Chain A
Amino acid sequence: MKLIKKGLLDTWQGLPIYGLQHEGIPPGGAMDTFSLQIANALVGNDVYDKALEIHFPAGVYQFETSTLIAICGANFTACVDNVEVPMNQPIKVPPGAILSCKKPVSGQRVYVATRELKDEQVSRVKILPWSMNPENVFTDEPIRILCGREWDQIKACSQQLVLSKSFAISPTSNRMGYQLIQEPLKMASPATMLSSAVTAGTIQLLPSGQLVVLMAGHQTTGGYPRLAHVISADLPRLAQKGAGDSLRFSLTDAVTAEYEWILVQNYLQQVRNVCALKLRQHRFDHH
């Protein structure tokens, strides 16, 4: 794939890579790992393959070979050769085809998975006749959180505020974290804590009284009070929100967090199985 015009923040991202956090190296990876995995499944990629994570304004790309692509996550009105193409559906594109994104409609990050078609010469854009439309994932329901170690150290009225008010996402938000805007929260007593590990989803209380939610590009350790943690199953949904959007929080428990995670993993496995089946049948029928 050749870059025709540089986007604001387009990078290749895969699943987070663990095992080096004691060296200060964060796991990183895609913000919305759910859409990343759907995209990879649709083109028959390995679960650990990287996909292009695109923010708006997006770059413009040209395919150099016959390629199978899938566009998932945010809707930026993705076009191949200036014609809008469907999301969540495998698309064959010929060498020379140009991928661009015209207008952001919903969501913050597009994932484009690609797989070179080595034994096939594609002559025109061809949309394959199946799609994986993830329903009930990117809803506007409250983001579910678990209490953090320092949750009890903020005043009861501040706890109430976290669970009842709507928080706006600040324009300074990025892959490292989302700064949230609300009236400042108050500690019951001054916080003194030693730096220790943080994870994606950790919600820290800054000295200003504002909250920051750590996202995929977070550092390995932090020294601010950890008020709460977004459950893993809700991180992809949060990743599709951005500056100007608002969100609410609701408290849940560890058992629900684990159950929801397993549901997501089972769904993704189901998608991988169906996509593999469809792709095999398609190849069998056309060769």
Chain B
Amino acid sequence: MNPQIYELGDSALTIEFGDEISENVHQEVMKRFYQFQSFPLPGTLDLIPAYASLTIVFDLGVVASRFEGLAGMKNLIEQKLAENFTAVIPEGRLHEIPCEYKGADLSFVAKSCGLSEQEIIRIHSEKEYTVYFLGFLPGFAYMGTTDERITVSRKLTPAPIQQGDIGLAGNQTGIYPSASPGGWQIIGRTTTIPHFRAGDRVRFIPVTV
């Protein structure tokens, strides 16, 4: 799929590289994230990677008065995307997270997946996850993708969640870096919350405290 560029309001452009959560699409997102971080377009204020997109936030005053607005920046981005960018993308670090699998929703998750709690723990801790991006809360890493056997839906109404709680939602998993209301199904908890970066890799190690 060719990247599509669209306006996100009057001061940001989103480049969409695909419409699915996949390693390949995300690699492209990260490659372009580092390209536009190393060689920022004029007026760049923020670069926000997500599962399959990269958003560039501009200073509207700069792009409107000097670069024919977002339409001009769109052309510039198209040119940059056509260039073959070959800089080294920092390799993601591997984080091993000790996890005490005693979350409040573990039994619900087991029931709704038709598995035992032990199987949920085994399946969740077996796989190495990719940090796709950070969002929702400062430092909250969206990780995926989880095994389809442990896919669960979000709660209908958000519940209070503690710092370090580990949750599931759809085919994503994540650690709450601070207490907050949240809709993810909580299966465990950790006291280790590293400073995640998009592209990092994560493995959960079952522990009993």
A interface residues, Cβ below 8 angstroms from B: 18-27, 146, 148-149, 193-199, 201-202, 219-221, 226, 229-232, 254-255, 257-259, 261-262, 265
CA A265 to CA B59, docked complex, whole Å = 12
Closest-CB distance, B48 to chain A (whole angstroms): 4
Cβ-based interface call for B139 (8 A):
yes
Give B55's nearest chain A residue, CB to CB. Answer: A197
Q: How many Å from the CB of B66 to the closest CB on chain A?
A: 11
A21, chain B: closest CB distance, angstroms = 4
Q: Which of B11, B45, B64 contacts A262 (CB 8 A)?
A: B64
B50, A195: Cβ atoms closer than 8 Å? yes
Which chain B residues have a beta carbon within 8 Å of chain A's beta carbons?
Answer: 6-12, 14, 16, 19-21, 33, 45-53, 55, 57, 60-61, 63-65, 69-71, 133-142, 198
Q: Which residues of A contact B10 (CB under 8 A)?
A: 146, 229, 231-232, 254, 257-258, 261
A residues in contact with B135, CB < 8 Å = 24, 195, 197, 219-221
Check A23/B139 contact, CB under 8 A, given A231-B10, A232-B10: yes
Q: What CA separation (Å) do A42 and B75 show in the bound complex?
A: 40
Contact B139 A24 (CB under 8 A): yes
| Chain B residues in 8 Å Cβ range of A23 | 134, 138-139
**Are B55 and A196 within 8 A (Cβ)?**
yes
- B50 and A197 contact, CB distance less than 8 A: yes
Can you add 15 more A-B contacts, CB < 8 Å, to A197-B48, A232-B9, A261-B10?
A: A21-B57, A23-B139, A25-B138, A148-B8, A149-B6, A194-B20, A194-B53, A219-B136, A221-B133, A221-B135, A229-B7, A258-B10, A258-B63, A258-B64, A261-B61
Taking the closest CB of chain A, its distance from the CB of B200, in whole angstroms, is 12
- Pick the contact of B8: A26, A197, A219, A258 (CB < 8 A): A197
Contact A196 B14 (CB under 8 A): yes
Complex-state Cα separation, A149 to B198, whole angstroms:
24
Q: Are B8 and A254 in contact (CB under 8 A)?
A: no
